[in-house]
Chain A
C-alpha cells in the first residue's frame, strides 16, 4: 500500500536483475531452505505500522502480520520463536524478497497486478480487506463522497490512496482540491487545523487515528463508501508453488479453525474428541494434512494451540483485545457478513 513504486522499479529494473533473482531460487525449494536453516525469515517494518507490525515495551515484535509469521513458523518448524523478523521499509520489501533476505512478505501488502506480474511475485489468498476511505467533520452534514463538491481533501503523498481518491472523485464528477503531505502526522495536523474538509487514508488507519488521536472523536465521521477494496495478502517469490501452497493453507487453516469453532483453549478437547471429520482432518487426528504439504500431520493443531485461530489473532491485534477496537466488518467470515472464506478441506 503506502509505498513508492518508483524506488522498487528503480532498484530492481535499474539492476535489471529481478529475473535472475527469481531463477536462482526456482531450483531449491523455499521450504527446504527454511527447514535446513531452522529459521523462517519474515518481513518487519522500519518503525511501527498500527496493529499489523509493532514493537512492544519489551523490544519485541507484535501485530497481526507478526502473528501470521509466527503461525507459519509453528506450521513449518514447530516453534513460534524460530523466526527472524527483518526490519524493512515499504520500498524495500520486494527487493528484499527477491534477494532472499526474507522468505515471505507479510506486511499489509496489497495484491496488485503490477506486483503479481512485473515484480515477479506470487500472492497468497487474501487475509484482510481494507480500502481507501474518507473522514469528514460531522458539521458538514455529508454522508457520501459525492457530496464533497468544491471541498479540499488531505492525503499522504506517494501512496496508492492519492490516486484512488482522485479517480473516484473524478468518476463521480466531484470538483475538489487535493492537498498532499509527506508524513501522516502532517496530514492529520492539516485536517485538524481545518485546512481540508476531508482526510483520505486507508480505512483501518483512519479508525485507529480517530480512536486515539482525536479528543473530539464524536464530531468526526468516517464515510461509509469504500473508494477501493484492497485485498491484503502474503507475497512470495514466483516459481515455488509448493511454498505458496504452504502459506495459503496456513491462512486457510486459521480461518477454517474459526469457522469450525476450534480455538487455542479448546483445541486439545477437539483433538481428543473431534466433533466431525473436517475437524479431525484439520487437527491431524486423521492422517493427510501434513504429507500433502511436506509438513507434520499435526502442524495445524500445534499452530492453533500456539497462536489461536484467525479470530483470536485479529482480536488480539486489531479488535477488542487491542487499543484499536476495529470491527471485523468485511474481515469477518462469509457466514458472518464478511468476505473471508477458505478453500475446501477435503
Chain B
C-alpha cells in the first residue's frame, strides 16, 4: 500500500491486512488458532494448574498439576544471592539496587556530563562494594568468593562495560593514530584478543595467571576475571568505534582545525559525538551480548545467576523442577535485556532529534 490510506476504522484495517483474499483469511485463522493454542497451553501450565507455595510441593507430584513454582518460593534466595550468607541478604539486595539505580540514573540525559557521570558511577560502585564486602562499614566481612547470583551478574556486567567502554575508545584512537608504534600495539592486541574465545580468555585469567604470577600480584579471582572480560569487551568495542570513525569524512576534522580548534577539541566536539551516533546500534548490541555472556563465568567457578539456579534444582528434593527454575532465570534476563534494548531505542530517537 503506497498511498497513505484514508482514515479508516480498526475493523476495516484488520480486514484489509488479514482477510484480503480467502487464502489470506485462512492463513490468518490457522495461525491465530495455533498461537492461541500455544498461549493457552502456557497459561494453563504456568498459571492455572501451577502450584505456587513451597509448603504445597506435595501437590506438584500429582499428574494434574502444572508448573511447580514452589521451587522458586523455596529457593529464590539461593538463585538471587548465590552463596552470600543468609542473614546478610539485605546487603546483597541493597547493593544490587545501588547498581541498578546507577545504571538507570546514568541513562538520564541530565547526567550526561563527564563530572556527573564519573561521580555517579564512583558513588554507585562504592555503595556496592562497601555493602557487599562490609568490612569497612563494620559489618561482617563477606569475601568475594561468596558473592553470587543476580548481584554478581549486575556487578560483573556494569564493571566490564564501565572499564571496557573507555578502553575500547582508547584502543580505537590508538589504532587510528599517526604514530606507527601505537597503531601496531593496538592492532596486535585487538587481533590477538579477538582471535581467542571468551572462555579461553577467562580461563587463562582465572587458572593460568595464578600459576605464573607471584601471590601478591594475583589479586582476587573476581578482579582478574573482570580485567580479562573488560579487555575482551574493549577489543570488540574498539572495532565498533572504528566503524563509527570510518563513517566520518576526514574533511570534517580538517575543517575543525581550520576553524582554529586544537586536535583534541576537534575530536571531542566534532568527531566523537558523530562516532557515538554511528556506533550506537552496534554498541547496544555489544552491551546486550555482554550481559548474557556473563553466564560464561560459571565455568571458572563464579556463582553467577545460572550457577546458583543450577544449585537450586541440583538437590534431590527439587531436581524435577529444573524447567521452572530456568524459566524464572530467563524472565530475569529478559527483563534486563528488554530494558537495555528499550533504552537503546530511546537514545537513538533522542540523537535523531539532535540532528534536526
Contacts and interface: CB of A to CB of B under 8 A. Distances in A.
A323 to B, nearest CB: 3
B86 A59 contact: yes
B203 A86 contact: no
Interface in A1-43: 7, 11, 14-15, 17, 20-21
Interface in A179-194: 185
A212 B316 contact: yes
A11 B207 contact: yes
A211 B316 contact: yes
Interface in B293-326: 298-303, 307-308, 310-317, 319-320, 322
18 contacts: A7-B203, A15-B208, A17-B208, A17-B212, A48-B310, A48-B312, A49-B314, A56-B315, A57-B74, A59-B78, A61-B83, A87-B145, A87-B307, A91-B299, A92-B207, A96-B301, A101-B221, A323-B317
Nearest to A99: B210
Contact of A59 (B81, B212, B307, B314): B81
A263 interface: no
B211 interface: yes
B132 interface: no
Contacts of B208: 11, 14-15, 17, 95
B82 interface: yes
B316 A92 contact: no
> Closest 4 A-B residue pairs measured CB to CB?
A48-B314, A323-B316, A47-B310, A99-B210
Interface in B203-253: 203-204, 206-208, 210-212, 221
Contacts of B317: 212, 323
Nearest to B322: A185
Interface of A: 7, 11, 14-15, 17, 20-21, 44-51, 54-61, 84, 86-89, 91-92, 95-96, 98-101, 185, 208-209, 211-213, 215, 322-324
B85 interface: yes
Given A58-B86, A92-B299, A96-B207, A212 B319 contact: yes
Given A46-B307, A54-B314, A185-B322, A92 B301 contact: yes
B84 interface: yes
Contacts of B298: 46-47, 89
A51 B316 contact: yes
Given A47-B307, A49-B314, A95-B208, A215 B63 contact: yes
Interface string B88-107: 00000000000000000000
Nearest to B75: A57
A92 B300 contact: yes
A89 B316 contact: no
Contacts of B212: 15, 17
Given A15-B212, A20-B211, A95-B208, A87 B319 contact: no
Contact of A92 (B61, B74, B206): B206
A283 B86 CA distance: 35
B77 interface: yes
A20 B264 CA distance: 48
Q: What class of interface size applies to chain B in its complex with A?
A: 35 or more
Main DSSP-derived SS at the A contact region: loop
Contacts of A51: 316
B322 A57 contact: no
Main DSSP-derived SS at the B contact region: helix
Nearest to B145: A86
A46 B203 CA distance: 14
Contacts of B145: 84, 86-87
B316 A59 contact: no
Nearest to B63: A215
B207 A86 contact: no
A11 B316 CA distance: 33
Contact of A48 (B82, B210, B311): B311
Interface in B166-214: 203-204, 206-208, 210-212
Contact of B83 (A14, A55, A213): A55
Interface centre among A47, A98, A208, A211 (most CB of B within 10 A): A47
A323 B143 CA distance: 32
Contacts of A58: 86
B210 A213 contact: no
Contact of A55 (B78, B302, B320): B78
Contact of B301 (A86, A99, A209, A212): A86
Nearest to A21: B211
B319 A213 contact: yes
Interface string B29-52: 000000000000000000000000
A61 B303 CA distance: 13
A34 to B, nearest CB: 15
Nearest to A213: B320
Nearest to A41: B145
Given A46-B299, A99-B207, A209 B319 contact: yes
Contacts of A212: 316-317, 319-320
B316 A208 contact: yes
A12 to B, nearest CB: 8
A318 to B, nearest CB: 9
Given A46-B301, A215-B61, 9 more contacts: A46-B307, A47-B298, A48-B313, A50-B316, A87-B303, A89-B300, A92-B206, A95-B207, A101-B210
Contacts of B143: 84
Contact of A17 (B211, B312, B315, B320): B211
Nearest to A89: B299
Contacts of A84: 143, 145
B301 A59 contact: no
A20 B208 CA distance: 12
A88 B316 CA distance: 21
Contacts of A15: 208, 211-212
A59 B320 contact: no
A257 B82 CA distance: 35
B301 A89 contact: yes
A87 B211 contact: no
Contacts of A98: 211
A121 to B, nearest CB: 15
A61 B82 CA distance: 11
A47 B314 contact: yes
A133 to B, nearest CB: 18
Interface centre among B211, B298, B312, B317 (most CB of A within 10 A): B211
A341 to B, nearest CB: 29
Contacts of B314: 47-50, 54-55
